[in-house]
Amino acid sequence: MAGLRAKQKADRTRRILEAATTLFRREGYDSARIEDIAEMAEVSVGTLYNYYQNKGDILVATVAMEVTEVLEGGARIVANPPLNVAEALRTLIEQYYDHSLYYLSKEMWRTAMAISIQQPDTPLSRRYTELDGQLCAQVIRLVETLQARGVVQAGVDARAMGEVFFNNLNMMFIEFCKVDAMALEELKARVNAQHEPIAALISSIKIV
């Protein structure tokens, strides 16, 4: 029997993640007790710790799944972007933001981001940081694509611009998660207001 162990392992990993995500969403990260997660996943507390290093790691695993999906959606947009700088940026970023609250609540995001900052050397925090880097690379690729198609001026430093756009949208997302009352639409509007004037500056087609 090639892998009863492997099968059980995969099954338990999934059950723990499902139980944790359910409880994190229902009761909030802090209120969801490890003991309860273990019980719902039908494993002991000790076993849970064989699968995840600590409570935070379980959350960051969910985030990693989430960001992976966002990256896939983003790739489609970058492959064939609107041929207008501001609009292309808006489309990509909207994709990121709209997906963000589908699996995770603001509170879960806050916790995940806090963990990845506070303990950057755990494996899953590294993974989080790596995914962040891929998102940044995707924004840079968008600027490069637009430049290749003559929409962005040739002289523009695509890497610098992409990094700055990304850091801005990322920081704005953090602010968004910090304010429970803030709606997605407000976030999008504010980021767009920041990016539009810069987009105009680097755009080949000047609107006078």
Partner DNA sequence: GAAAAAGATTGAACGAGTTCATTTTTTAAG
Partner DNA sequence: CTTAAAAAATGAACTCGTTCAATCTTTTTC
Q: Which residues bind DNA (CB under 7 A)?
A: 1, 3-5, 8-9, 12, 30, 32-35, 43-47, 49-51, 53-56
CA dist., res. 160 & res. 155, Å (int): 12
Q: Which is nearer to its own copies, 13 or 53 (CB)?
A: 53
Can you state the percent helix, strand and coil of the chain, rounding each to 5?
Answer: 75, 0, 20
Task: Give me the least distance between CB of 158 and its own copies, in Å please.
Answer: 10
Task: Give me the least distance between CB of 8 and its own copies, in Å please.
Answer: 34
CA dist., res. 132 & res. 112, Å (int): 13
Task: Give me the least distance between CB of 137 and its own copies, in Å please.
Answer: 14
| Residue 205 φ/ψ, nearest 5 degrees | -85, 105
Task: Give me the least distance between CB of 32 and DNA, in Å please.
Answer: 7
User: Widest CA span of the chain, in angstroms?
Assistant: 72
Token representation of residue 84: 């207008």
Binding site for its own copies (CB under 8 A): 110-111, 113-118, 120, 129, 156-157, 160-161, 163-164, 167-168, 170-172, 174, 177-179, 193-198, 201-202
